[in-house]
Chains A and B, each alone.
Chain A
Amino acid sequence: MTVMAQTALWLLVLLPAVVGGALALSRSDRAAAAVSLATAALTAALAVVVALARPQVAMPFMAGSDLALGVDALSALVVPTVAFVTLLALVFSTGEIGESQARFHGLMLLFASGALMTATAQTLPPLLFAWEVMGATSFALVGFWWREEHRVSAGVTAFVTTRAADVGIYLAAGAALAGGAGLALADLPDGSEGWRHVAAAGVLVAALGKAAQLPFSFWLSRAMEGPSSVSALLHSAAMVAMGGYLLLRAEPLLASTGWAAPATAWVGALTALLLGAVALAQRDLKQLLAASTSAQLGFVVMGAGLASVSGGAAHLVAHASTKALLFLAAGAWLTALGTRRLTGLLGVARRWPLVGWTSTLGLLSLAGVAPLALWATKDAVLAAALETSPWLYAVGVAAAALAAAYAGKVLVLLWRRAPEPERAVAEGHHDEEEQGTRRVGLPEQAPLVVLAFGAALLGLLALPPVGDTVARALGEEPVHPAPLEMALSAVVALVVLALVWWRPAPEPAWLRGWLGLEVAAHTLVVRPTVALAESLARFDDRVLDRVVTGSAEAVLGMARRAATFDDRVLDGVVETTAGMSVRAAERAGRVDGRWLDGAVEGVATATRRLGRLARRPQTGQLHQYYVQAIAVLAVGVLLLVMVR
């Protein structure tokens, strides 16, 4: 059994990854949908198996830590949710996605594998691994219709924004290692004091980014450019939900720091409130649903910050089912009528009753109407809020009222019998997004029914007796909201719905642009970064490279000057010296001929003359010699006398 369960866990991650990878690379569109649906169905079955058997597996990976996967009570809730929504979204997509089916199904399965691995990762390396695979596949899925540039831009925004937050996990991993905690998720709270704060901050930022919480929410708005079946999976049950999941998983770490848990709770509460208001202001159904996703994930995040993991997890699962249903309904209408504008959907619930009734159920659940799913799960979180801080509770209740308002706003539109001129305006909006087919097929309707059951019944996860079992499995004492609180929230929902029915809700224009978050990110981060990049590039070309080429040119210039010096000066000196030598030699020659030789010859002549002169006294006569001797003697005596 254990071996089988462990194999099932490996297959749960590997099967969609391998099949998805193969499909994405192949271009055999014909068999793609069948292969993909079979894989998704098998994956869903495996998800049930591992949720029941709770296996653990590990293999050596890197940085001294294992690639460890495991299923505990929390994963056992999330894994089947992801697997089933994947299957239903893929069934729906056979009606929505016409061309490039292999690529679409391949990417969706790859994404599902990433989400399932995230939900089962026990150590940081596989968590980050799967986390970023989700990000990259979401880029490719949002920008699926790549011929339209705004859709690709939306994918880029989604990936870059979530990756900015992902940096937190890299930081957390470094902190975990430095703090001596190791890279296992469960051990993170054991890190040394300082590093534990860094790890908590890193995990918190990463999760807020994925969960589209403040201030990262804007990427989710852009991500609505993708196909609706993509939103049904990524923006309800998986990608954004995984952000909430990570915080639930890391709850002990957040609680261990003192500041991170309240910060988490407040970010969640404020997102629920502000994005709820943003949702109310939208005039585009998918935009409204996206803002509502951020807001509803806010309750999950609150749950993590308030140590109500069971409440948060129940809300996560119930919201996944509800929101997937609504995104698919929006997709069905978009395909049929070619519009997602709310005014274009006037009275549409009557035209396709099954879609109308299931989505009505979903909207009522979203509004928090008792006894539907989100009513119960949200109250579980709010009960924990009331225990901690009345302010937090008040913000939560206000957010819940806003949810009822925006859900009611859509409900009214969907069912309204409008007079003729208004209907004409609505029809004028048809086909403005794409050419509508005017039909909703069976593969598009069937998943709605399944999801509607979830939207109705999953509240049981937060109500006794199932809720108590869930809470105990998660290691918590079951907390029951007071009946008064639950009644209050149900009444609030009904009153708000009635108000909206009676009179249209306000749609403040300043909220329609998602609080200007994207504009702010552009002004504060993107534009300065690009400007810095451009000026650095200019610096690189004009200064740094110029210095190098300049030095090279300087060397060349010096060489040229040296060459000139060599030619003109050194060589000149040599040549002049040579010329002077020649001239000197010539002069010497002349001197030699004229003077030296003359002198020599003169000396010779003089000597000859002297010789001739010296020959004269040599007469050979003795008396003359005597006279000469006496004369010399006389001169000698005379000299002697005079000298003395």
Chain B
Amino acid sequence: MLSLIVFLPLAAALALVAVPRLGDAVSRWVWVVVAAVDLALVAAVWLRYEDPGTGRLAFEERAPWIPGVNSSYHIGVDGLSLPLVAMTAVIFLACAVFALRETDRPRPQAALFLFLQSVSLGLFVAADLILFFLFFDLSIVGMYFVIAGWGHNDAGRSAMKFFLYTFLGSLALLAGFIGLYIAAEPHTFDMVELAEQTPLAGSSLGGGLVLAAILVGLAVKTPTVPFHTWLPPAHTDAPAIGSAVLAGVLLKMGTYGLVRIAMPMLPEAWRAWAWVIVVVGIVSVVYGALVALAQTDLKRMVAYTSVNHMGYVVLAVGAAGMVADDTAQARAIAVTGAVTQMVSHGLVTGALFLLAGVLWERAGTYDMGSYGGLAGPAPRLATLFAVGAFASLGLPGLSGFIAEFQIFTGSIAAAPVTALALVGILITAALFLRALQRIFTGPTRGASVGFADLRPAELWSVGTLLVLSLLIGVLPRPLLDVIEPAAEVVVELVGR
């Protein structure tokens, strides 16, 4: 079942490439249909999902692959990965719908995004480090072509910067993986076995070095301060759906790696260095929010808020490493909040980037000062943007609040210093309201004049993402019921 979910988009991508005679319209609809079917399959998995328990995976599949290094094709899901798998399927479907009016080479674009979808889903279900690494790097390659091929402005340079930076990061990650492999006895790349073995336990230097390599690799992808400078140009020059996937899905690969690989496999080193992770988280939150506040370009601003939002995740998983006897519940709440934040940020920032894409498509600029009073000609865009902005600043009733409340409540209880990051939710509130004010209110002027409101495809794709955010915000239990047991397991594993 999982293999089908992972490889169905890839098969469709190959078919699109192999049959060049398919028209543009057919290609676009093939993409939508395949993404919808994939989402339906994920929904089926979600409905049949039962928590697999400590150190186990649901819907597990395993086949020999590279027996020489004990690496196998091993996949499965648990409460950490299933929400991200579902979020990935939703975002790719939203992108497919959004791109229904795309005129620039729709067939190769559809193929490329289907390829990226397979790669992203594969990463979240991978239970083998080599498999994980493979998908990790392929995602970088895919996104390079998306930015370079369909971007604007200085797309080639931004794409190259993105590629080189994250690719270098992935090399650090690979070094860490090899360290784990060598330290494991018997040598293996299998994630489940590695989490059980906790190689390098008792070796503070070795554990620290391997953790450092893995952290650097994941920090570049997440990204955290100071490894984030590839993000703003990549977003600014990427096409709307590319930005949505980059922010919505690809960034999660970094934070997912933290909870999936670093925490369970290197618990001792994680506890020893938890304070560094907390500090990096706090700095990312505050720094990301402040720099976002100073931006005049909407897309750059949203890009920097991603640094801020991913900072909350880093901070929470760092606080989860501050182990004390009576804070297990608080730490589990923090990790639950972190995973919820990954899902929430994917939906909300994906929606905001799609809306930013509408601005570019209609008026050719992201400069907030060029607009004004846009709510007049484009009330639907104004409404959706306002909902997205409020979701992003963590307003209750929307998913961001569920994530951030748990992150802060749990983290402050486990590591009081994290209260410093509360200033982040205040600054993001100010910057989003300022953006709303600049673009949408006042007399209609500048680029807003004659602006065409959202078309049905745009409305439906963005609307769906925001409705999901609303559902999670009001009725979080279905999501939290999946995440909470897994978060407790992570906390238990880190505490070993």
Contact = CB atoms under 8 A, between A and B. Distances in A.
Interface of A: 25, 27, 59-64, 125, 128-133, 136, 139-140, 143, 146-149, 152-153, 155-156, 159-160, 163-164, 167, 170-171, 173-175, 177-178, 180, 183, 529-530, 532-534, 536-537, 540, 544-545, 548-549, 552
Contacts of A180: 326
Contacts of A64: 329, 333
Given A27-B379, A160-B429, A178-B413, A540 B443 contact: no
* Interchain residue pairs A-B with the least CB separation, the first 8: A174-B412, A178-B413, A537-B294, A129-B396, A533-B293, A533-B294, A545-B229, A177-B413
Given A63-B405, A139-B433, 12 more contacts: A62-B476, A128-B396, A132-B395, A140-B386, A155-B433, A156-B434, A159-B433, A167-B422, A170-B408, A173-B408, A183-B409, A552-B161
Contact of B477 (A60, A149, A160): A60
Nearest to B434: A156
A178 B437 CA distance: 39
Contacts of B375: 146
B476 A61 contact: yes
Contacts of B429: 159-160, 163
Contact of B405 (A125, A146, A155): A125
Interface centre among A152, A178, A548 (most CB of B within 10 A): A178
A172 to B, nearest CB: 9
Nearest to B292: A533
B426 A167 contact: yes
A129 B395 CA distance: 8
A242 to B, nearest CB: 14
B124 interface: no
Contacts of A530: 293-294
B319 to A, nearest CB: 10
Nearest to A61: B476
29 contacts: A25-B383, A61-B477, A62-B476, A63-B336, A63-B405, A64-B329, A130-B396, A132-B396, A133-B397, A146-B375, A152-B437, A152-B442, A156-B430, A156-B434, A159-B433, A160-B430, A160-B433, A167-B422, A167-B426, A171-B422, A174-B413, A177-B330, A532-B290, A533-B293, A534-B294, A536-B294, A537-B294, A545-B229, A548-B161
B413 A128 contact: no
Nearest to B412: A174
B401 interface: yes
A177 to B, nearest CB: 4
A195 to B, nearest CB: 8
B448 to A, nearest CB: 12
A28 to B, nearest CB: 13
A530 B295 CA distance: 11
A170 B413 CA distance: 11
Interface centre among A63, A139, A175, A533, by most chain B C-beta atoms within 10 angstroms, is: A63
Contacts of A27: 379
Given A132-B395, A132-B401, A167-B422, A178 B327 contact: yes
Contacts of A153: 437
Given A129-B396, A132-B401, A152-B442, A173 B433 contact: no
A537 B291 contact: yes
Contacts of B336: 62-63
A129 B397 contact: yes
Contacts of A540: 229, 291
B291 A536 contact: yes
B298 to A, nearest CB: 15
A146 B477 CA distance: 36
Nearest to B164: A552
Nearest to B233: A545
Contacts of B79: none
A174 B416 CA distance: 8
A643 B390 CA distance: 123
Contacts of A62: 336, 402, 405-406, 476, 480
B411 interface: yes
Interface string B266-305: 0000000000000000000001001101110000000000
A63 B412 contact: no
B128 to A, nearest CB: 32
Contacts of B402: 62
A175 B396 contact: no
A156 B476 CA distance: 28
Contacts of B395: 132-133, 136
A147 B396 contact: no
B287 to A, nearest CB: 6
Nearest to B286: A536
B144 interface: no
Contacts of A173: 405, 408-409, 412
Interface in B439-496: 440-443, 476-477, 480
A541 B295 CA distance: 11
Nearest to A126: B396
Contacts of B433: 139, 155-156, 159-160
Contacts of B295: 537
A63 B331 CA distance: 10
A252 to B, nearest CB: 21
Contacts of A548: 161, 165, 229-230
Contacts of B477: 59-61
Contacts of B410: 63, 174, 177
A136 B386 CA distance: 11
Contact of A170 (B294, B329, B405): B405
Contacts of B179: none
Interface string B362-403: 000000000001011001000100100010000111000110
Contacts of B414: 178
B427 interface: yes
A534 B295 CA distance: 8
B26 interface: no
